[in-house]
């Protein structure tokens, strides 16, 4: 649950959000100072509390320092669709606060600490620091890749494949923020919520998990899931972890690549 901290002179550098940005663009001292100012105040949110509510105006971003949340939308027909799981380093309010009103809700599913950034302050930050703005574009590209995989999951994969893909993705993302070991993790969602994420009913999620257990691909102990046969799972769920890791920004980390024109 807790993100492992390694002590450095500047606590800002340890923040998962800053660490994420720095994977894409080298930030100078001015950038770091600006981020420190943005991140100075913390908000504590209890498990189960709504952070963004569909239909209401959202005036800023909430940068996640620790804890988990879910983005979701309630439908007229009584259904609920989970859009994504929010992890440390993620941004709540993207893209809600860029619109007149939020089109979905975000709820904490564990105790969280957040930093609130008014959208105006965020826009100023981007205007003043091109490196941060550019890193944010790279971040957004990663979010998009995640959502695209989710569309493929719910749209065209078979139920068993969906569940496997969802488990592997969740494990990989948790692991990337230090919240999972190499081959096991604590699933933060109930089976009903998993169903809401991948577009299945809770009983059917249960059937799929049972099948995976019988086949010896996973083991479950409460919410702890152990991945027993990673290779088989990756084939079954057609899971390529590459969509979770972006390139660094060229020209920042390395020399600009040669121009090439494709016709």
Partner DNA sequence: CGGCGGCTTGAGGTTGGTCAAGGCATGTGG
Partner DNA sequence: CCACATGCCTTGACCAACCTCAAGCCGCCG
Contact between 199 and DNA by CB under 7 A: the answer reads: yes
Q: Which does 119 bind (CB under 5 to 8 A by kind): a copy of itself, DNA, none?
A: a copy of itself
Question: Toward a copy of itself, which CB reaches closer, 41 or 223?
Answer: 41
- Applying the rule CB under 8 A, the residues between 201 and 230 that interact with a copy of itself are none
What SS3 state is found at 87? coil
Interface residue with a copy of itself among 1, 5, 158, 219 (CB under 8 A) is 158
Task: Tell me how many residues contact a copy of itself (CB under 8 A).
Answer: 79
Please give the order of strands across the beta sheet that includes 60-66.
Answer: 43-45, 112-118, 60-66, 91-92
Site string for DNA, 140-159 (x = CB under 7 A): ------------------xx
Distance CA 166, CA 161 (A): 8
Distance CA 145, CA 169 (A): 12
DSSP 101: S
To which H or E segment does residue 160 belong? helix 159-176
Cis preceding linkage at 95, omega within 30 = yes
Question: Toward a copy of itself, which CB reaches closer, 91 or 187?
Answer: 91
The closest of 31, 106, 27, 24 to 61, measured between CA atoms, is: 106
Distance CA 11, CA 5 (A): 9
Site string for a copy of itself, 89-108 (x = CB under 8 A): -----xx--xxxx-xx----
For 161, counting Cβ atoms within 10 Å of its Cβ (0-12 exposed, 13-18 middle, 19+ buried), the class is middle
Cβ distance 61 to 91 under 8 Å? Answer: yes
Q: Which does 94 bind (CB under 5 to 8 A by kind): DNA, a copy of itself, none?
A: a copy of itself
- Locate 120 and state its tokens: 């105006």
- Whole-number minimum distance, CB 255 to DNA, in Å? 45
Interface residue with DNA among 54, 192, 229, 238 (CB under 7 A) is 192
Terminal C-alpha separation, the chain: 49
Contact between 252 and DNA by CB under 7 A: the answer reads: no
Q: Which does 5 bind (CB under 5 to 8 A by kind): DNA, a copy of itself, none?
A: none
Question: Toward DNA, which CB reaches closer, 115 or 157?
Answer: 157
Q: Which does 215 bind (CB under 5 to 8 A by kind): a copy of itself, DNA, none?
A: none
- Applying the rule CB under 7 A, the residues between 206 and 225 that interact with DNA are 206-207, 209-210, 220, 222-223
- Beta strands 80-86 and 69-74, pairing class: antiparallel
DSSP 72: E
Interface residue with DNA among 202, 241, 244, 252 (CB under 7 A) is 202
- Whole-number minimum distance, CB 91 to DNA, in Å? 26
Q: Which residues bind DNA (CB under 7 A)?
A: 158-159, 190-192, 199-204, 206-207, 209-210, 220, 222-223
């Amino acid at each position: 649950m807790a993100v492992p901290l390694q002590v450095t002179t500047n606590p800002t550098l340890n923040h998962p959000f800053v660490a994420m940005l720095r994977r894409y663009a080298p930030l100078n001292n001015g950038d770091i100072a600006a981020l420190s100012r943005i991140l100075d105040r913390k908000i504590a949110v209890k498990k189960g509390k709504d952070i963004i509510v569909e239909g209401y105006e959202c005036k800023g971003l909430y940068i996640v320092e620790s804890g988990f949340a879910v983005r979701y939308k309630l439908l007229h027909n009584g259904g609920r669709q989970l859009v994504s799981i929010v992890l440390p380093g993620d941004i709540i309010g993207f893209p809600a606060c860029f619109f007149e009103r939020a089109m979905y809700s975000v709820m904490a599913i564990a105790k969280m600490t957040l930093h609130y950034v008014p959208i105006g302050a965020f826009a100023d930050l981007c205007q003043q620091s091109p490196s941060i703005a550019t890193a944010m574009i790279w971040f957004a590209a990663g979010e998009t890749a995640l959502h695209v995989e989710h569309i493929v999951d719910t749209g065209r994969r078979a139920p068993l494949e969906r569940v496997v893909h969802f488990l592997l993705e969740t494990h990989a993302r948790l692991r990337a923020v230090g919240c999972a070991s190499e081959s096991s993790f604590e699933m933060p969602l109930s089976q009903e919520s998993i169903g809401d994420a991948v577009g299945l009913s809770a009983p059917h999620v249960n059937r799929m998990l049972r099948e995976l257990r019988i086949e010896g691909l996973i083991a479950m102990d409460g919410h702890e899931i152990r991945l027993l046969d990673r290779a088989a799972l990756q084939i079954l769920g057609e899971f390529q972890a590459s969509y979770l890791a972006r390139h660094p920004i060229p020209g920042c980390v390395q020399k600009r690549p040669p121009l090439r024109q494709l016709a």
